[in-house]
């Protein structure tokens, strides 16, 4: 057979596809741009990838295709699982058509015996991401029960170490690594949302890959429900990352003529995690509805007042917020009917007259009169049993039938796939948005889904519930185009590109202890750019860890994200209030750089320090934060390098406000910190600068500016 290998190119990425392998086509290269390779060279690359037959193997060696299947001899995890009442359990597809352009391809294959049609969509985006989606259509006369359908991304032979993230409430996105050995490393989310323990990305690369170097590939599922990611290596030396939705039994039974489409799965690669991450950031920033205006500095009232709502107290808090430069004031939980704690009220989205006898209008007018936007906390997908809604409509609660699920946080989940429940939620939120000038909703989701069934049918319904959530968010945006929405889920338990298609930032974690946030924000930032990461300055003593930190550390860690405050400013003295105001002003001066530039992390040789920053796209300037997280073995700590600068340009490096006056335990001046120092980007990125002597848990900002 004559080969006509397909070469998709865009954004510095090449995807080479061999359409002649048995069953579905095979990706023979994903990664570095191969340039304008001649067709004969591409065909030769595919030929060179063909394996030999070996003893004990099948007569025709199976290939890792776009849909690896048992029928083609694939003995690893199949890309498709399903059946027709136990029949048609081993589908076998023949290639039908391949349509492609310079950066996109649509591949159609048909299983005539199984009465199934498969369409694989591939795109190499302008950012160099590979986007993949599979659609399966039932062309037979009876139902087809779909169990699993996953996108497959091949890995290079050098990718022998995998990295993912895990966590819990108050400690999301903790990295973990292990060798990619023969077998399967499986990560599943069965909680109806990604979950705090879910991995944001599944990455594989050369051993020891870091942020600055080491080839690495990773995939992400753009889906806010149950999902599955796996890294698999076979004894035939094939390695792959696979990803897709995790389906419950009977959740997707395709009627004759019906089609199921997987969520989009996005694959990125890079020489180091910084380059891999930059592709995701570029992709997100190119979205038509990506926030275009400066991200408003936000004060959220939760850790200031909790459920204790009082107009006088909140008015004083709003006045203090405006004085330090806050641009958005968000009233958190406790404003609606019967909501004095977390045991009651969810579902009854009307203002509680016992707390707000004149409604929210007096507070809203105070906030907007001070020049700030007004935002409101809601948890629309949830319901307490102690609520008028639950008493009136118990059948709207997600349940398997005949019993309620185990409670979480004294609450249950509404079935948005039920049209009546959906209408109630939409109408309640729409009424609030019509009545008040609410510019922002903090949209929370404080429990995991268990036994998530539709009370009308008894069938599993996470899939339909998630699609209904997307419709709800889309409909609210259509009615209120200027509305911004934050995705919060027990902190950072619903961070994915499905929800970010419809929201304007994520709440990274309920823990705003700055030491905890260093790792949390670093690894959440692999996917999400800083302007979409909620990062707040808490009070001196952390709500969740009870550790105490100075303002410079708390503010400096929050500085690079979508800055906010979570602190009772009515208790703050004038000196601290002025210091906080200086941090807010410095952030406003820098946010054009912080929220458009390239995020970098230095791979330092010690675990007692952290250096991260943002470099302008033209590399004319950069801001870094250096944090002494613990005492160092050496004293002083030694040099640190500044990644991301133009190697051929000269820069002046100095400390930046508000940390420009170096304190700390050093007993002599640090010359470069006092006077600034000049050097090339190449030297600063390799030899580096002497780190300032700091006490543990202290932070300073550094700036590097091109010398014209």
Kindly name the residue from 18, 348, 496, 510 that is annotated as catalytic.
Answer: 510
Q: What does the DSSP 8-state code read for residue 460? A: B
Buried residues in 10-23 as b, exposed as e (16+ CB within 10 A): bbbbbbbbbbbbbb
Q: Which two tokens stand for residue 146?
A: 């779909």
Note whether 420 and 393 are within 8 A (CB): yes
Catalytic residue check, 444: yes
SS3 content of the chain, % helix, strand, coil (to 5): 20, 30, 45
CA dihedral 670, 671, 676, 679 (to 10 degrees): -110
Note whether 164 and 170 are within 8 A (CB): no
- How many separate helices (H) and strands (E) can be counted in the chain? 13, 38
Backbone φ and ψ for 648, nearest 5 degrees, come out as -100, 0
Catalytic residue check, 510: yes
Bridge partners, residue 330, by sequence:
300, 375
d(C-alpha 324, C-alpha 321), whole Å:
6
Mention every residue, 6+ apart, whose C-beta is less than 8 A from residue 597.
Answer: 614, 615, 616, 617, 622
d(C-alpha 356, C-alpha 347), whole Å:
18
The number of residues in the chain equals 708
Peptide bond preceding 636 in cis form (omega within 30 of 0):
yes
Kindly name the residue from 164, 332, 352, 444 that is annotated as catalytic.
Answer: 444
Distances (CA, A) of 423 to 213, 325, 392: 51, 38, 15
Residue 471 has a CB neighbour count (10 Å cut-off) of 15
Active-site annotation, residues? 444, 510
């Amino acid at each position: 057979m004559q080969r006509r290998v397909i070469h998709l190119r865009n954004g510095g990425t090449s995807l080479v596809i061999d359409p002649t392998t048995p069953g579905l086509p095979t990706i023979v290269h994903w990664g570095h741009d191969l340039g304008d390779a001649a067709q004969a060279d591409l065909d030769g690359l595919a030929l060179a990838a063909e394996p030999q037959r070996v003893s004990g193997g099948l007569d025709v060696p199976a290939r890792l295709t776009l849909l690896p299947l048992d029928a083609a001899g694939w003995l690893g995890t199949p890309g498709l699982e399903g059946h027709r009442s136990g029949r048609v359990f081993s589908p076998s597809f023949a290639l039908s058509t391949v349509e492609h352009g310079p950066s996109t391809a649509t591949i159609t294959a048909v299983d005539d015996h199984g009465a199934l049609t498969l369409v694989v969509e591939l795109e190499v985006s302008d950012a160099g991401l590979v986007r993949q989606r599979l659609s399966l259509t039932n062309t037979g006369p009876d139902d087809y029960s779909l169990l699993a359908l996953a996108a497959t991304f091949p890995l290079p032979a050098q990718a022998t170490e995998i990295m993912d993230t895990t966590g819990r409430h108050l400690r999301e996105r903790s990295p973990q690594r292990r060798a990619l050995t023969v077998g399967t490393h499986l990560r599943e989310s069965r909680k109806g949302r990604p979950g705090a323990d879910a991995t944001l990305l599944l990455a594989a690369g050369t051993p020891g890959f870091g942020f600055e170097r080491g080839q690495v590939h990773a995939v992400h599922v753009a889906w806010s429900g149950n999902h599955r990611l796996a890294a698999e290596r076979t004894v035939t030396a094939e390695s792959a990352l696979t990803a897709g939705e995790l389906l419950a039994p009977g959740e997707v039974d395709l009627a004759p003529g019906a089609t199921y489409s997987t969520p989009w799965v996005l694959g990125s690669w890079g020489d180091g995690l910084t380059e891999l991450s930059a592709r995701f950031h570029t992709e997100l920033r190119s979205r038509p509805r990506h926030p275009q205006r400066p991200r408003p500095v936000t004060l959220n009232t939760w850790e200031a007042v909790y459920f204790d709502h009082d107009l006088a107290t909140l008015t004083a808090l709003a006045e203090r917020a405006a004085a330090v430069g806050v641009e958005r004031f968000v009233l958190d939980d406790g404003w609606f009917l019967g909501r004095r704690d977390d045991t009651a009220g969810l579902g009854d989205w009307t203002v509680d007259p016992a707390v707000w006898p004149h409604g929210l209008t007096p507070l809203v007018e105070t906030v907007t009169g001070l020049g700030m936007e007004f935002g409101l906390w809601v948890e629309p997908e949830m319901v307490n049993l102690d609520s008028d809604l639950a008493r009136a409509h118990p059948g709207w609660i997600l349940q398997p039938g005949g019993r309620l699920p185990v409670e979480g946080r004294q609450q249950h989940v509404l079935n948005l796939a039920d049209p009546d429940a959906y209408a109630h939620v939409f109408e309640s939120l729409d009424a609030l948005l019509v009545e008040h000038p609410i510019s922002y909703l903090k949209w929370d989701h404080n429990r995991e889904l268990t036994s998530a069934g539709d009370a009308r049918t008894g069938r599993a319904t996470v899939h339909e519930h998630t699609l209904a959530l997307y419709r709800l968010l889309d409909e609210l945006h259509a009615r209120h185009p200027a509305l911004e929405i934050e995705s919060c889920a027990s902190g950072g338990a619903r961070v994915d590109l499905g929800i970010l298609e419809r929201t304007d930032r994520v709440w990274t974690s309920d823990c705003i202890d700055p030491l905890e946030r260093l790792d949390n924000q670093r690894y959440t930032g692999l996917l999400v750019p800083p302007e979409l990461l909620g990062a707040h300055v808490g009070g001196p003593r952390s709500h969740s860890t009870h550790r105490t930190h100075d303002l410079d550390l708390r503010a400096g860690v929050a500085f690079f994200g979508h800055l906010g405050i979570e602190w009772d400013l009515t208790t703050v003295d004038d000196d601290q209030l002025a210091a906080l105001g200086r941090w807010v002003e410095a952030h406003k001066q820098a946010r054009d750089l912080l929220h458009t530039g390239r995020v970098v992390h230095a791979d330092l040789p010690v675990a007692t320090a952290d250096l991260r920053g943002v470099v302008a796209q033209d590399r004319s300037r950069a801001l870094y934060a250096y944090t002494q997280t613990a005492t160092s073995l050496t004293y002083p700590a030694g040099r640190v390098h500044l990644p991301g600068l133009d190697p051929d340009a000269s820069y002046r490096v100095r400390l930046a406000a508000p940390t420009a006056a170096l304190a700390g335990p050093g007993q002599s001046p640090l010359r470069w910190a006092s006077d600034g120092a000049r050097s090339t980007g190449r030297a600063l990125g390799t030899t580096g600068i002497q780190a300032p002597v700091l006490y543990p848990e202290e932070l300073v900002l550094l700036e590097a500016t091109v010398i014209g």
